[in-house]
Chains A and B, each alone.
Chain A
């Protein structure tokens, strides 16, 4: 019996010849990522060493990445003090993969890890963030864990008790229609599988559409795999994986791509043809409440958000800028744009996208998690509605349980900003 890419990655990481779905393994970790919640991990890490006589030093500081993105720049004295504590820990242990609040190398963890070449094919990546699934786009097995579990990873360099997940293969064929893209595909899939349909399973993306899809689009698919409950998403490595790592992430070391065997065992195969897919939206208050944009077109929106670890990349900003260029954001609607990293911010600035947004009346914010989780700028008022390119629309997510959030692609969000109501971008152009 053959093996899936994830089974191969886990076998190698656990020092076994082969593993299969259902086996319990303890893989070594190649990259352990935290954001501001590193403060919590540090606390738990020190606690588990208390009384053991061992110094509280992480197993391998070169494999730890800490990226400030959730509350940047600090929104309160308490956050600033936590960030200061993390900086002290980073300095004490020589953690080089540290991205502070900076306009040159800062950004959202799920963009920094790929663009800096920290994630490579075949790696086991854990992060104290549920959207760690994102990094499967580069042929890694990447999943989210809690702070206490991360403290034990820092001590041991392994994750204990990992049950090898079974894999659902998503076979995607067809060409995306104009103004329809990866965000619509993943919303369609989450709607199809439901919020728990992929619990304890991996979503492996394959098919000709995926082969032709850029890494930026693949990151969108893996990012939101967790919204169907998946342990992780993965796109087995191919020519595009190598191109991205060489050209965009400037990785020069040899790369070891991991592919699934032809006779690998899948729990099921979900075929999707995107050639007839319309622009979609996830309606309040669950990500699997997916409808065609036409079903909710005309709904007034007071805020439009473009950015995040889901859709804050250069191609997303390019698509939105093309739509708003030369037009004005509707009166009574606020448009917020937050690029996923400082690098993308600089590229968008150079290409004129940020100028397009500002001329149209949008506010360009610094890279970070920003309005997505509503604790740091961009909160909604009581009874207000937003359309956003982010990944979650749970009640209270954008800072107010008395508000509503719709999720969409950058094209739908940008078109809606110009009209002040949810708008089908195909109609507006």
Chain B
């Protein structure tokens, strides 16, 4: 089993405005009791969505105009707070294939890499323009290219940034533990051979 390389993500986008969106908001703590990530997709931003509904508004995740979106557009320091991997898992399982934002919290970013969800950065003004663009024309398709480090939107090509080691991991398909273990089978076997209870297994 090898993992697919992740080179391109294209599709409609979902604008989610706000700086410092923390992981408690992305997936409230009561959903952490499960030992698998199944079914988390429907609970992403659950409390924010309920609060919006109570005010008679539609949260972007409930807005039918953005249904089926694959690229999430966020602002600064997205995913700060708890290290819960459930946060990127909930987004990915809800259909999001890439996140474009001004900046990301470190643990969120690492968790997103580990599950194959690229997060790329653009300057704040560019993000704000894209969010307005998508709010005005919800089905506009965006195209992210990790190979070229670009995002094509509204006929313009914008350069995006992503740490080089993360980009290489996506392009080579080495973005999670399974593929890495397979790639480095000898290392694992060497470790296993040193362990008294595995030797002679």
Binding site for B on A (CB under 8 A): 24, 37, 39-40, 42-44, 47-49, 51-52, 54-55, 57, 59-60, 71, 76, 78-79, 82, 85, 128-130, 132, 144-149, 151-152, 155-157, 160-161, 163, 195-196, 199-200, 229, 231, 286, 288, 373-375, 392, 394-397, 399, 401-402
User: Bound state CA distance, A11 and B37, in angstroms?
Assistant: 35
Binding site for A on B (CB under 8 A): 1, 19-20, 22, 24-25, 28-30, 32-36, 47-48, 50-51, 76-77, 80-85, 103-107, 110-111, 113-115, 163, 165-166, 169, 176-178, 180-182, 184-185, 187-189, 191-192, 195, 197-198, 201
The 8 A-B residue pairs whose C-beta atoms are closest, nearest first, are: A196-B77, A146-B85, A152-B177, A146-B111, A130-B83, A144-B83, A401-B47, A148-B114
Q: Known: A128-B83, A375-B29, A397-B24. Is A85-B35 also a contact (CB below 8 A)? A: yes
Judging by beta carbons under 8 Å apart, are B192 and A54 in contact? yes
B155 to chain A, nearest CB (A): 31
Some 23 contacts from A to B, beta carbons below 8 A apart, are A40-B36, A48-B176, A48-B178, A54-B188, A59-B195, A78-B33, A79-B33, A146-B110, A148-B111, A155-B181, A155-B191, A156-B188, A156-B191, A160-B180, A229-B80, A373-B24, A374-B29, A375-B29, A375-B30, A394-B25, A396-B28, A401-B51, A402-B51
Closest to A145 in B: B110
- What residues on B are CB-neighbors of A85 within 8 Å? 35
Q: Most chain-A Cβ atoms within 10 A of its Cβ — which of B19, B110, B182, B198?
A: B110
Judging by beta carbons under 8 Å apart, are A40 and B47 in contact? no
User: Bound state CA distance, A48 and B188, in angstroms?
Assistant: 12
Q: Known: A148-B115, A394-B24. Is A40-B77 also a contact (CB below 8 A)? A: no
User: Bound state CA distance, A318 and B113, in angstroms?
Assistant: 44
Judging by beta carbons under 8 Å apart, are B114 and A146 in contact? yes
Judging by beta carbons under 8 Å apart, are B192 and A57 in contact? yes
- What residues on B are CB-neighbors of A374 within 8 Å? 29
User: Bound state CA distance, A200 and B197, in angstroms?
Assistant: 38
Of B103, B169, B181, which one neighbours A52 at CB under 8 angstroms? B181
Judging by beta carbons under 8 Å apart, are A55 and B198 in contact? yes
Judging by beta carbons under 8 Å apart, are B83 and A196 in contact? no
Judging by beta carbons under 8 Å apart, are B177 and A199 in contact? no
A20 to chain B, nearest CB (A): 16
A153 to chain B, nearest CB (A): 9
Judging by beta carbons under 8 Å apart, are B77 and A199 in contact? yes
User: Bound state CA distance, A229 and B105, in angstroms?
Assistant: 6
Q: Known: A130-B81, A148-B177, A394-B22. Is A57-B36 also a contact (CB below 8 A)? A: no
- What residues on B are CB-neighbors of A399 within 8 Å? 29-30
User: Bound state CA distance, A60 and B178, in angstroms?
Assistant: 19
B197 to chain A, nearest CB (A): 7
Q: Known: A44-B177, A57-B197, A57-B198. Is A396-B47 also a contact (CB below 8 A)? A: yes
User: Bound state CA distance, A129 and B105, in angstroms?
Assistant: 14
Q: Most chain-B Cβ atoms within 10 A of its Cβ — which of A71, A76, A199, A402?
A: A199
User: Bound state CA distance, A149 and B113, in angstroms?
Assistant: 10
Judging by beta carbons under 8 Å apart, are B36 and A147 in contact? no
User: Bound state CA distance, A41 and B20, in angstroms?
Assistant: 27
User: Bound state CA distance, A394 and B29, in angstroms?
Assistant: 11
A392 to chain B, nearest CB (A): 6
Judging by beta carbons under 8 Å apart, are A163 and B165 in contact? yes
Closest to B177 in A: A152
Q: Known: A148-B115, A161-B169. Is A54-B106 also a contact (CB below 8 A)? A: no
Q: Known: A55-B201, A130-B82. Is A145-B107 also a contact (CB below 8 A)? A: yes
Q: Most chain-A Cβ atoms within 10 A of its Cβ — which of B33, B34, B84, B181?
A: B33
Judging by beta carbons under 8 Å apart, are A148 and B176 in contact? yes
Closest to A144 in B: B83
Q: Most chain-A Cβ atoms within 10 A of its Cβ — which of B30, B163, B184, B191?
A: B191
Judging by beta carbons under 8 Å apart, are B29 and A47 in contact? no
User: Bound state CA distance, A82 and B76, in angstroms?
Assistant: 35
Of A48, A71, A79, A231, which one neighbours B177 at CB under 8 angstroms? A48
- What residues on A are CB-neighbors of B184 within 8 Å? 156
- What residues on A are CB-neighbors of B48 within 8 Å? 395, 401
- What residues on A are CB-neighbors of B188 within 8 Å? 52, 54, 155-156
Judging by beta carbons under 8 Å apart, are B83 and A151 in contact? no
- What residues on A are CB-neighbors of B33 within 8 Å? 71, 76, 78-79, 82, 375
Judging by beta carbons under 8 Å apart, are A195 and B77 in contact? yes
User: Bound state CA distance, A401 and B29, in angstroms?
Assistant: 11
B109 to chain A, nearest CB (A): 9
A420 to chain B, nearest CB (A): 27
Closest to A74 in B: B33
- What residues on A are CB-neighbors of B106 within 8 Å? 199-200, 229, 231
Judging by beta carbons under 8 Å apart, are A43 and B36 in contact? yes
B105 to chain A, nearest CB (A): 6
- What residues on B are CB-neighbors of A129 within 8 Å? 82-83
Q: Most chain-B Cβ atoms within 10 A of its Cβ — which of A149, A156, A375?
A: A149
User: Bound state CA distance, A82 and B115, in angstroms?
Assistant: 23
- What residues on A are CB-neighbors of B107 within 8 Å? 130, 144-146
Judging by beta carbons under 8 Å apart, are A396 and B24 in contact? yes
User: Bound state CA distance, A161 and B109, in angstroms?
Assistant: 12
Judging by beta carbons under 8 Å apart, are A149 and B51 in contact? no
User: Bound state CA distance, A213 and B153, in angstroms?
Assistant: 53
User: Bound state CA distance, A375 and B195, in angstroms?
Assistant: 39
Judging by beta carbons under 8 Å apart, are B115 and A392 in contact? no
Q: Most chain-A Cβ atoms within 10 A of its Cβ — which of B104, B106, B165, B197?
A: B106
